[in-house]
């Protein structure tokens, strides 16, 4: 399950489509002064096609225009589909009122945004201890409900119409006097996106008895009544009185009178939670060109169904260089000149108000017509990231990018070298782009210098990384889906050049140096030390060591005294020795640090373990305040709580100071080169940025583990929402850390296990994981100590491990290989793949072209140097490039470009 946290809504620039009502009128009579100062925003794939794309009949406002459009001698006519992301707003509503017979009560939960909504719910009993759910009684379950293990029920919401004709989705639960139920717990899930909606980062809870009133995640607790004592507080008394009446006949009449009195005092409630959802809206633009036989001029007609004001930013070119120019007059009405480089024309509204159009008269001798559509300062619609290009000669070859189905929207313009686009962005962004260009020029300037070239390039590349991350941060609020162009990806980098902690040199190959059983010998450091030379000779550049700190759990992931490095893997001296040995072998060393939680050494006055000892002797202020298990006095968690141990409150200055100092101490004392960071989804990525800037690691990677999207047990093809959450975390660190590409691992599982290799290409022909969007920050892997080893929580499909390694060791990103696979019968095959990667200088930013993604085979060409295929199907690389065999195994094969 993944959750979406409620945050104050940023002021995003989005357009309201008249084709979808952003406010529902059907629920207003139930409102009781609901606070609307917070909104939830989550990503959604394109499930909501309010109007499917179609070829629109071109309508003219004059006879001349109709003749231009409908003439049979038009030599170019094409309709391009457009997609733009809009934010639609609505509410999740929770209502308690009388049922149909006016005796029982009815809980209604619903949402007025479109989606495949599921109520995931359960109950708590009066005598329950903790936060566990139970399944409700059978008679409470609405039709269509299914059991989820033994603790919850999932019930689909049904589509309904309000009296005003608005569509909404709801489910009703009958609350019958059948037992002492303390509360109804639930979360709302949109199965189309895999998104879960919670209340203030926790489950919704509708209390039915008074003692739950103090819980922070309850709904219906504070209304316009004088005192609220639980939604069904009187009803719970009714139940107890009813039970007592069976054993006390003498008092039955008194109980009856009390029952009536309690029943009359019962009050219902209605509460709404605002929700905002980003969806893809389908539009289109049609272009038609006809040559006037009398004047030899071209008439070009543009029509779109996009509502509202649309500006076309346009120009012409005279030859194959396609350089933008301003054509000779006349120009259409409402046209202005933009920086002597292009023209901007406001399109005219069509009759009936649905869309707009423009007619352009173009002089003879022009080669082509360039344009992009401008909706506002932040939203430009282009063709596959490029300008639309329309040929103005009937003999011209139509470019591939003007074909049907290739258009897409970009929430910000793509920035090319042409000056005509520079003015389309804010002054701040222009400054960033100019700085990047200047830095790139500096790289060229120092290329020929023999002295200090590496140092200069290193400094410049570090600045480029920072500027790229800054630019991405600026626009993130207006970009619903990360675009691979958002971060500058560069040509080959020299292995000796350090870039930043998020990438290392860009050529890193990571080895996980332990498994779940490594702690058993008590001398793992000494055992691993003996393998340092062997791992280095295989081509690994980084070794990931297990957690070094003394821990409640022997594996090290429940740390106590952070400065005590006597773990089950060895003591501090042995740790220093193994680090020194790997350094001597030319490898960097990562320490596994647990920053999210820390086990306490002492109990507070209530017997709760939340007081710490050792050098960092924190009190309960260091523990988050919204986890009832550990009764912390800190602020609310900035992420998802890990319930097995006290979650650390990173918003406390003293906590962050101590963690910074601890990491710097580890860097100096142990000489770690970087970090693998455990369970980073438990707190805000901005704190990671602070810790990394303080400790200055060579390389850092975070474990942001999250569930992928499934429908009825089958993995969805589109996992954009999943990888988006990992991207968002990386961006919160300002790009200072990479993240394990859990998305790619999950998709490889389904592709290989089910022989569905088409899954390895997304809708844009890119790799479908994080590696397809931000490859330099994606650490790819197929197994680790949790998923494999003796735990086997999510084991890679058996017998297909080498297909997985053929994928990650030839593709961009930073590959990580599991210890158990290295020292097994896979060793020689893994070594051969690493050799291919190193020989051809494949790195985290290498380009990739997917050449085949079908049921039984996937193939790609990486960096124009390596070709790979996995799957039982046939593939051989073709084209003008000559290829030579490199290595192969069961259902995979790799080629290298012949020199």
CA distances 861 to 572, 633, 883, Å, are 46, 54, 11
Residue pair 676/706 in contact (Cβ under 8 Å)? The answer is no
Q: Is 98 helix (H, G, I), strand (E, B) or coil?
A: strand
Compute and round to an integer the Cα radius of gyration of the chain. Answer: 31
- The DSSP H or E segment spanning 665 is helix 653-669
Active site residue 678: yes
Residue pair 777/502 in contact (Cβ under 8 Å)? The answer is yes
Active site residue 703: yes
Nearest-5° Cα angle at 155, 153 to 157: 155
| Structure-token pair, residue 41 | 């925003």
Residue 198, CB-side half-sphere exposure with 13 Å CA sphere:
15
Nearest-5° Cα angle at 439, 434 to 443: 145
Out of 640, 649, 678, 762, the active site residue is: 678
| Structure-token pair, residue 730 | 């990386």
Please report where in the chains the tokens 């599991």 appear, as a residue.
818
Measured from the Cβ of residue 296, the count of other Cβ atoms closer than 10 Å reads 10
Q: How far apart are CA 779 and CA 331, in angstroms?
A: 53
Q: What is the dihedral of CA 720, 726, 729, 730, to 10 degrees?
A: -100
Strand 699-702 to strand 738-740: parallel, antiparallel, or no bridges (unpaired)?
parallel
Q: How far apart are CA 387 and CA 374, in angstroms?
A: 12
Q: For residue 577, which phi and psi values (nearest 5 degrees)?
A: -65, -45
Q: Per this entry, what is the length of the chain?
A: 899
Quick one: which of 3, 6, 49 has its CA closest to 194? 3
Residue pair 488/436 in contact (Cβ under 8 Å)? The answer is yes
Cβ-Cβ contacts under 8 Å for 519 (sequence gap 6 or more) = 546, 554, 555, 556, 567, 568, 569
Q: Is 237 helix (H, G, I), strand (E, B) or coil?
A: helix
Out of 673, 703, 756, 783, the active site residue is: 703
Strand partners, 371: 314, 388
Residue pair 802/829 in contact (Cβ under 8 Å)? The answer is yes
Active-site residue numbers?
Answer: 678, 703
């Amino acid at each position: 399950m993944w959750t979406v946290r409620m945050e104050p809504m940023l002021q995003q620039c989005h357009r309201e489509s008249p084709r979808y009502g952003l406010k529902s009128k059907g629920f207003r009579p139930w409102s009781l002064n609901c606070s609307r100062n917070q909104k939830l925003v989550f990503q959604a794939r394109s499930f909501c096609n309010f109007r499917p794309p179609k070829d629109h009949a071109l309508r003219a406002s004059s006879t001349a225009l109709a003749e231009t459009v409908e003439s049979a001698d038009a030599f170019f006519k094409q309709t391009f589909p457009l997609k733009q992301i809009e934010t639609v707003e609505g509410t999740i509503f929770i209502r308690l009122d009388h049922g149909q017979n006016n005796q029982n009560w009815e809980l209604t939960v619903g949402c007025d945004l479109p989606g495949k909504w599921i109520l995931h719910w359960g109950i708590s009993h009066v005598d329950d201890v903790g936060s566990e759910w139970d399944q409700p009684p059978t008679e409470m379950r609405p039709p269509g409900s299914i059991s989820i293990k033994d603790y919850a029920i999932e019930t689909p919401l049904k589509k309904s119409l309000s009296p005003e004709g608005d569509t909404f989705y709801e489910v009703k639960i009958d609350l019958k006097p059948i037992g002492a139920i303390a509360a109804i717990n639930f979360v709302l899930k949109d199965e189309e996106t895999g998104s879960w909606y919670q209340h203030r980062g926790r489950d919704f809870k509708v209390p039915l008895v008074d003692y739950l009133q103090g819980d922070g995640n309850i709904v219906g607790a504070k209304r316009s009544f004088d005192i609220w004592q639980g939604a069904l507080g009187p009803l719970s008394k009714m139940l107890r009185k009813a039970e007592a009446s069976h054993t006390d006949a003498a008092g039955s009449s008194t109980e009856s009178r009390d029952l009536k009195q309690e029943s009359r005092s019962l009050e219902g409630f209605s509460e709404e939670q605002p929700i905002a959802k980003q969806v893809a809206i389908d539009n289109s633009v049609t272009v038609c060109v006809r040559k006037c036989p009398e004047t030899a001029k071209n008439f070009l007609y543009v029509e779109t169904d996009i509502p509202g004001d649309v500006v076309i930013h346009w120009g012409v070119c005279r030859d194959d260089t396609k350089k933008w120019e301003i054509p000779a007059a006349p120009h259409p009405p409402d046209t202005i000149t933009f920086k002597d480089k292009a023209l901007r024309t406001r399109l005219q509204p069509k009759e009936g108000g649905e869309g707009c159009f423009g007619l352009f008269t173009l002089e003879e001798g022009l080669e082509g017509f360039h344009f992009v559509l401008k909706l506002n300062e932040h939203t430009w619609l282009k063709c596959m990231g490029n300008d639309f290009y329309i040929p103005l000669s009937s003999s011209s070859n139509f470019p591939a990018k003007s074909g049907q189905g290739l258009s897409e929207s970009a929430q910000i313009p793509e920035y090319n070298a042409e000056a005509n686009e520079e003015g389309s962005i804010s002054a701040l962004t222009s400054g960033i782009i100019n700085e990047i260009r200047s830095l790139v020029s500096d790289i060229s300037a120092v290329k020929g210098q023999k002295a200090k070239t590496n140092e200069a390039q290193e400094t410049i590349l570090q600045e480029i990384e920072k500027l790229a991350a800054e630019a991405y941060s600026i626009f993130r609020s207006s970009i619903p889906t990360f675009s691979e162009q958002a971060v500058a990806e560069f040509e080959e980098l020299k292995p000796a050049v350090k870039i930043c902690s998020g990438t290392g040199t860009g050529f890193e190959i990571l080895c996980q140096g332990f498994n779940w059983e490594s702690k058993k010998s008590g001398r793992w450091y000494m055992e691993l030390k003996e393998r340092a030379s062997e791992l280095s000779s295989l081509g690994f550049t980084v070794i990931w060591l297990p957690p070094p700190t003394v821990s409640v759990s022997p594996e090290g992931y429940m740390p106590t005294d952070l400065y005590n490095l006597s773990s089950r893997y060895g003591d501090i001296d042995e740790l220093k020795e193994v680090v020194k040995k790997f350094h001597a072998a030319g490898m960097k060393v990562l320490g596994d640090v647990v920053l999210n939680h820390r086990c306490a050494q002492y109990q507070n006055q209530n017997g709760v373990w939340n007081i710490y000892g050792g050098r960092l002797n924190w009190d309960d202020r260091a523990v988050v305040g919204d986890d009832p298990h550990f009764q912390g006095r800190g602020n609310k968690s900035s992420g998802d709580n890990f319930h097995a141990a006290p979650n650390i409150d990173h918003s406390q200055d003293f906590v962050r100071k101590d963690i910074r100092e601890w990491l710097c101490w580890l860097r100096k004392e142990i000489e770690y080169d970087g970090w693998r960071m455990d369970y980073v989804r438990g707190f805000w990525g901005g704190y990671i940025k602070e810790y990394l800037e303080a400790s200055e690691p060579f390389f850092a990677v975070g474990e942001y583990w999250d569930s992928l999207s499934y429908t009825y047990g089958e993995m969805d093809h589109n996992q954009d929402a999943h990888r988006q959450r990992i991207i968002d975390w990386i961006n919160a660190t300002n790009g200072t850390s990479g993240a394990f590409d859990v998305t790619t691992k999950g998709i490889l599982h389904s592709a290989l296990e089910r022989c569905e290799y088409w899954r390895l290409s997304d809708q844009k022909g890119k790799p479908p994981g994080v590696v397809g969007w931000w490859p330099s920050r994606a650490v790819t892997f197929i197994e680790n100590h949790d998923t494999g080893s003796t735990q086997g929580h999510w084991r890679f499909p058996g017998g297909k491990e080498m297909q997985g390694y053929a994928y990650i060791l030839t593709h961009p990103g930073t590959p990580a290989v599991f210890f158990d696979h290295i020292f097994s019968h896979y060793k020689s095959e893994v070594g051969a793949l690493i050799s291919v990667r190193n020989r051809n200088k494949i790195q985290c930013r290498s380009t990739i072209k997917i050449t085949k993604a079908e049921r039984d085979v996937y193939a790609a060409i990486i960096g124009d140097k390596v070709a790979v295929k996995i799957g039982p199907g046939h593939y051989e690389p073709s084209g003008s490039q000559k290829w030579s065999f490199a290595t192969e195994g069961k259902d995979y094969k790799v080629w290298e470009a012949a020199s």
